[in-house]
Amino acid sequence: MIQLFKPLLAHLLCLPIPTIAALPGHAAAGGLVLALAHDYLVMRSDRGVLYMSELDLGATLPDYFIALAKSKIGSSSVRRDVFLRGMKVRGETAVKMGLAESAHQGEDGVMEAAVRLGEELAARNWDGDVYAEIRKSLYPEISGLLGLTTKVITISKL
């Protein structure tokens, strides 16, 4: 089952658009990994947690899960709390820890915020191929473990 995530994560990292994970509830184990694979994470403030349950279950994690966490969670103490303490992180705390972009009241609040953020990002009208290449370059460890390559895109006229 764990190996099934590899192509999914590779696909997400190669998408030519910004990605937003809108979490109306819990994201545990593989759900947390899937959420972290997105560019932005929007959560509920009143319900739901981010939780890596493998330690409590007695299971180890594949190298690419850890590489993704190292790429997306800048603080080593936050990584420690999530992965080695099994901390269940609620929305407001996730924002303070840098795990989530924002936290909102109720499912509707999450969806409205995610749509609003998506519209703001889409309005920038970025070149999708450039966006995808920058994303892969931003996370070289996970990109390498997933077998992704990067290419340089230059501007022909300055």
Q: pLDDT tens, 26-62? A: 999 999 999 999 999 999 999 999 999 999 999 999 9
Q: Is the dihedral of CA 24, 42, 33, 38 positive or negative?
A: positive
The predicted pLDDT at position 96 comes to 97
Measured distance CA(3)–CA(63) in Å, rounded: 11
Q: For residue 156, what pLDDT band results from cuts at 50, 70 and 90?
A: low
Q: What is the 3-state secondary structure (H, E, C) of 90-124?
A: EHHHHHHHCCCCEEECHHHHHHHHHHHHHHHHHHC
The predicted pLDDT at position 128 comes to 97
Q: Which two tokens stand for residue 48?
A: 């739901």
Average pLDDT, the chain: 95
Alpha helix positions (H), 4-155: 5-14, 30-36, 54-57, 63-72, 76-84, 91-97, 106-123, 128-138, 140-145
Strands 89-90 and 27-28: unpaired
Task: Report whether pLDDT(157) > 80.
Answer: no
* In the chain, % of residues over pLDDT 90: 91
Q: For residue 158, what pLDDT band results from cuts at 50, 70 and 90?
A: low
- What domains are defined for the chain? 2-145 (3.90.226.10)
pTM: 0.92
**12 CB neighbour count, 10 Å cutoff:** 17
Q: For residue 1, what pLDDT band results from cuts at 50, 70 and 90?
A: low
